[in-house]
Structure 1
Amino acid sequence: MRRAHVIGAGLAGLSAAIRLTEAGFRVTLSEAAGQAGGRCRSYRDPQLGMEIDNGNHLVLSGNRAVNAYLATIGASARLSGPKEAYFPFVDLRDGTRWTLRPNAGRLPWWILSTARRVPDTRARDYLAFARLAGAQRIGDIIPAQGVLWDRLIAPLMISALNTPAADGSAELAGAIVRETLAKGGHACMPRIAEPSLAAAFVEPALAWLDLHGAEIRLGRRLRALERSAGRIAKMVFADGEELADGPVVLAVPSWVAADLLPGLTAPTEHHAILNAHFRVSAPARDPIVGVIGGTAEWIFAFPDRISTTTSAADPLDGEDREVLSRRIWADVMQVHGIESPMPAWQIVREKRATFAATPEQDRLRPGAKTAFANLWLAGDWTQTGLPATIEGAIRSGETAARLARDFVK
């Protein structure tokens, strides 16, 4: 059986390993950490005494690669969400509440309905989305002001790009719109992993790989790649060396790849994401709420906890954790209409959560192919055409696996 090596067991690496295994390769999957999943992981938090996700990840019903990945590993049922596209919002500045409700079909008649669009906006305001294209900043194309900006464009883009909205790449923003809103509400239904990210995306993938003969080696750090005659000849791990006797997919963070491959062009700027978790029974209200004017930007209500996400959270990095958690809990109480002392809490900061999705950083993203004939790259930081999302990570693994398979044919 042909051999293949995948380095890195985040979603990009898991995706590549699955597709290579399907193509008939005997895959060895190596991961430096003691667990798979990368930034899409779950763990038991001792402060809360419960399992939580490292971060809150929302996918949409139209995410092609996500759906195919979960179907392959038998985990499609581990995403939950409504049967229609709807997104409740609260503006904490004045208490206004509304629900964005795109209609199911491609013809966006929902923008004509005051009951479905953002309050105090007009149908023609939404033409701004059609201008999102090209290697420019969003703020150079759409004025960063006004009701639609404050209540939809900015919150949508900062969460999708993990970059201040005005600074974000219009090309990447346009890609998000083309794959979601432009396809209609049937592609925009929100989906959340249950009971956890690991249970949906990671554990079933590891079980599938094990069942199909892949070798999974955790806690195995790659220290160097030895090259010869335009190929990767040997992989040097902390626990020993191994010949590159088949295609190699490098699915590690961009800064790790840059260390292993001197001269690699890759994004150099990153933004943080901050997640707060509160151990409390969630109110029987909307499972996801967008927040305007608060510290929290999205509030997720799980059966046993409430979690919040704040994107491009670099300005919050130096803040006291308890002070920050109290401020976020105040947002939660206002949004859900509850009065309660702050329950057990945890703050999780991912300082280099994603590359900065600006036009300049987007141009630094490499493709899957490298200067070495038997080496391919995967990761949400590679040139997927999307910002750093779960969908982009899984697609990158698919691409690397396809190129490796075609090379060996």
Structure 2
Amino acid sequence: MLVAGAGIAGLAAALDLAEAGLTVELLETAPQAGGRCRSFYDPVTGHRLDNGTHVLLGANPAALDFVRRVGGRFRELPAIYPAVALDGPGGEITGRHAIRLGSPVQLMRSLGLGAGDLLALAGLLLDGRVNGPLGTARPGLLSRKLGQAVLAPLVRAALNIDPAAADARLVARMLRRLALAGPRGFRLHLAEGGLDAALIAPAVARLRALGVRLYPTTPLDRLPPPDPDRMIVLALPPAAAHRLLPNITVPRASSAILNIHYAPDQLPAGMPEALMVTGGMADWIFHRDGILSITTSAADALMDRPAEVLAATGWAEIRTCLAMAGLPAAMPPVRVVKEKRATMRHDPGGEALRPGPVDRTRPRPDVVLAGDWTATGLPATIEGAVVSGQRAAAAVLRRR
């Protein structure tokens, strides 16, 4: 059994296949496993950093179960976390509130939402025929307080796209999953000690204990000839999968994410671990392991801006949003990480191009696809990657 690609999808596929008793070889182009979930040592900050702050939700059962199975460490954050509204990038505060992730009534009250907001949201959730961009399918929803305070930040974070351009059907499916998950579905889970220590290293160790052979720095340049005794899982980025299987459709467009990591000499006690920001450059401010990080989704317009300008704007927002922390005006050591092709673009055009794991029209029935860009019905997140890997493994096992 051959699995090409040791990102989250490939690791999830290899785990299911190995636990089913198959002999698995795992190939990876990079020197290490993890794909876009990776950690690296940064000499500027003197810390080991994640390329981005990858957050899990309580409504991500496949990803949380994968973490448990490999012995990983993601910690659930408290049910109350602060949110700040700014009047523009690097600007001033226009409002503060605490989001209470308890009952739906508590959540709505903490956000100042009313019955009209709930009815507008229910209309999106219950409409099985919703189609097209969200801004066209539900033109008034994003302008409501619900849209500004909850829906837009949630869509930006999960789908990595301007909410108005997001595929409305995918947004509705995501919201239904959150609703069915109950109050804990909105709870945030952060990697303890970074992505490598909390997820990738434990996954690799578990696979090796199961006898999986991992070959880093080993790209799959061409598909091997068909072998009736071997199946192949292609858990590669869409362009690489298309190069090996030119007849498949793959999403072409992508969306960027900006992450900026700051390393102050010391941080005051009592700082929030996660703070949601609206109206500024940052979408979230995270505090973990002595590092302050900002994450900005749907950041295509920021990719060409100089790193020093982005870092200065981000530090100004952190100091404004965490005013009580007494952070210095002088910017500490900083690392700007621009992920220009962080995810596929979740607009209707991109969604239409997502292939399933198996397609009977392909000339290679021994090949199964995996990756967060395949047709999982989920956004291109860790949850989507794990689900895709598990579905690919299930397709392989059905053929044995």
For each residue in 1:327-365, what CA deviation from the matched residue of structure 2 results, as whole angstroms up to 9, or x when unmatched?
A: 010010011113411100010011111011011210110
Q: TM-score, normalised by structure 1?
A: 0.89
Equivalence for 1:209: 207
Q: Is 1:282–1:303's contact at 8 Å kept on the other side of the alignment?
A: no
Equivalence for 2:375: 383
Q: TM-score, normalised by structure 2?
A: 0.91
Does residue 1:6 correspond to 2:17, yes or no?
A: no
TM-fit CA distance, 1:124: 2.0
Of 151, 154, 157, 1:153 maps to 151
TM-fit CA distance, 1:245: 4.5
Of 38, 41, 65, 1:41 maps to 38
Q: Is 1:112–1:123's contact at 8 Å kept on the other side of the alignment?
A: no
Aligned partner letter, 1:214: V
For 2:286, what is the secondary structure of its paired residue? strand
For 1:80, what is the secondary structure of its paired residue? strand
For 2:24, what is the secondary structure of its paired residue? strand
For 1:156, what is the secondary structure of its paired residue? helix
Equivalence for 1:236: none
* 30-39 vs 130-139, which moves further: 130-139
Q: Is 2:101–2:187's contact at 8 Å kept on the other side of the alignment?
A: no
Query: What aligned pairs does 1:165-314 form with structure 2 within 5 A after superposition?
Result: 165-227=163-225, 232-233=226-227, 245-280=229-264, 281-283=266-268, 284-314=270-300
Change (3 A) 1:264 1:320: same
Equivalence for 1:325: 311
Equivalence for 1:237: none
Equivalence for 2:54: 57
Change (3 A) 1:111 1:50: closer
Aligned partner letter, 2:94: G
For 1:385, what is the secondary structure of its paired residue? coil
TM-fit CA distance, 1:152: 2.0
* In 1, Cα distance between equivalents of 2:188 and 2:274: 9
Change (3 A) 1:303 1:226: closer
* 330-339 vs 33-42, which moves further: 330-339
Q: Is 1:111–1:123's contact at 8 Å kept on the other side of the alignment?
A: no
* In 1, Cα distance between equivalents of 2:150 and 2:263: 29
* In 2, Cα distance between equivalents of 1:154 and 1:368: 30
* In 2, Cα distance between equivalents of 1:150 and 1:188: 17
Aligned partner letter, 1:71: R
* 141-150 vs 337-346, which moves further: 141-150
TM-fit CA distance, 1:111: 5.3
* In 2, Cα distance between equivalents of 1:190 and 1:267: 29
Aligned partner letter, 2:70: I
Query: What aligned pairs does 1:24-35 form with structure 2 within 5 A after superposition?
Result: 24-35=21-32
Aligned partner letter, 1:67: L
Query: What aligned pairs does 1:364-379 form with structure 2 within 5 A after superposition?
Result: 364-370=353-359, 371=362, 372-379=364-371
Change (3 A) 1:88 1:297: same
For each residue in 1:244-293, what CA deviation from the matched residue of structure 2 results, as whole angstroms up to 9, or x when unmatched?
A: 84111000001111111112101011010010000124442211111011
* 382-391 vs 170-179, which moves further: 170-179
Q: Is 2:235–2:369's contact at 8 Å kept on the other side of the alignment?
A: yes
Equivalence for 1:80: 75
* In 1, Cα distance between equivalents of 2:108 and 2:153: 21
For each residue in 1:114-158, what CA deviation from the matched residue of structure 2 results, as whole angstroms up to 9, or x when unmatched?
A: xx2x23x32321333221453321112142324332222211111
TM-fit CA distance, 1:225: 1.4
For each residue in 1:217-248, what CA deviation from the matched residue of structure 2 results, as whole angstroms up to 9, or x when unmatched?
A: 00001111145xxxx35xxxxxxxxxx84111
Count of aligned pairs: 381
Extract unaligned runs of 5+ from structure 1. Answer: 234-243
Q: Is 1:129–1:177's contact at 8 Å kept on the other side of the alignment?
A: no
Aligned partner letter, 2:106: W
* In 1, Cα distance between equivalents of 2:134 and 2:16: 35
Aligned partner letter, 1:356: R
Change (3 A) 1:190 1:147: same
* In 2, Cα distance between equivalents of 1:207 and 1:112: 43
State the Cα RMSD in Å: 1.6
* In 1, Cα distance between equivalents of 2:333 and 2:120: 42
Q: Is 2:117–2:145's contact at 8 Å kept on the other side of the alignment?
A: no
Change (3 A) 1:83 1:304: closer
For each residue in 1:362-394, what CA deviation from the matched residue of structure 2 results, as whole angstroms up to 9, or x when unmatched?
A: 011000014222110000000011010100000
